[in-house]
Structure 1
Amino acid sequence: MPELDINDPELTARLADVDYFTAKLNDATAALRDYLAACRAPPHAARPQDDGWPMDAGHPDLVSPIEAARRVAHDDDTIRRWAAAHGIGRQYRKRWRISLRRLNAFMADPARKM
């Protein structure tokens, strides 16, 4: 935005706020685009022996059992049990991480057994 010669301090402050929030919105938009690209990316960063699981526990598709439980309105112990029994999660350094893609597919499967 070009600099304007404005003598009104309130207007100048509000324009500065707009610039600040525009920059924040642009940063958030870029982060969202990066997240979506990572989720759509082929599992080339996955270990072949782990059947397509990301190597990094911080991958955008992976969440904690507590976050997964919050998303599907179930208990986190249930999520851990499903992770072990149905392959929707795996352990990274002794901590469970749940794949959102696998969790969503599991929840949408009409043949699933609780």
Structure 2
Amino acid sequence: MKNVLLSAVISATLGLTALPSMAKDVDLRMSWWGGNGRHQVTLKALEEFHKQHPDINVKAEYTGWDGHLSRLTTQIAGGTEPDVMQTNWNWLPIFSKNGEGFYDLNTLKDE
């Protein structure tokens, strides 16, 4: 399970590496849910990402399982959703009926 989780976090984070080089700093927000183990692994991945891309700052926003869906729903309705977020596959139709409302970062991993 840890390997699957780590792979998912790294895949999502690596997707950010495809962002073009920019002259000024970029600030992004990334949201996920889970227990302390997931939080620590994700924070380490974000730290490594920042070492490789010092001009991209990623603000971590994480919660436990309880309340995460409600938080995302409120943020999306208010137009304040994170730039990068973890979501469950079964939540996708709630936010995007045809699945086109989210960008799959896996499409960037080979660039």
TM-score computed with the length of structure 2 as normaliser: 0.25
Per residue, is there more strand in 1 or in 2?
2
Per residue, is there more helix in 1 or in 2?
1
Q: Larger radius of gyration, structure 1 or 2? A: 1
TM-score computed with the length of structure 1 as normaliser: 0.24
